[in-house]
Amino acid sequence: MSKIANWGDPPPRVRQHLIDRMRDRAISLSDLNQLRLWMDSQPDVPEQDWFKDFGSFKICGRGPYPKTFLLRGQPATGEAL
C-alpha cells in the first residue's frame, strides 16, 4: 500500500486529463470538495487499480496516482476503497 499522491504530483499530462474529465463529467464544486477532503486525509491506496465511489462520481487510479473520473453508473475496475 502507498499513500495517494498530492493533487500536484501526477505528471502534467495525467493532471490535465483529470481536469478535462472533471469538466466533461460536470463534477460539482461540492463533489470536488468531498474529493479534496478525502485526498487531504492521505488515504492508503493499493499499487494496482483502485477506485473510490463518491456517489455522484468515481475517481479511479493506479498506485498513488488518480487516473480518471467516471460518472455514477459507469463500471469501475480494481479494488473499491
- 42-60-21 Cα angle (round to 5): 110
Predicted model pTM: 0.84
Q: Where are the extended beta strands (E) located within the chain? A: 2-3, 44-45, 49-53, 57-62, 65-71, 79-80
Cell 463534477 appears where?
Answer: 27
Region 61-77: mean pLDDT is 92
Q: What does the domain layout of the chain look like in residue ranges?
A: 2-73
pLDDT in tens, 20-62: 888 888 888 899 899 999 999 999 999 999 999 999 999 999 9
pLDDT in tens, 7-19: 777 788 888 888 8
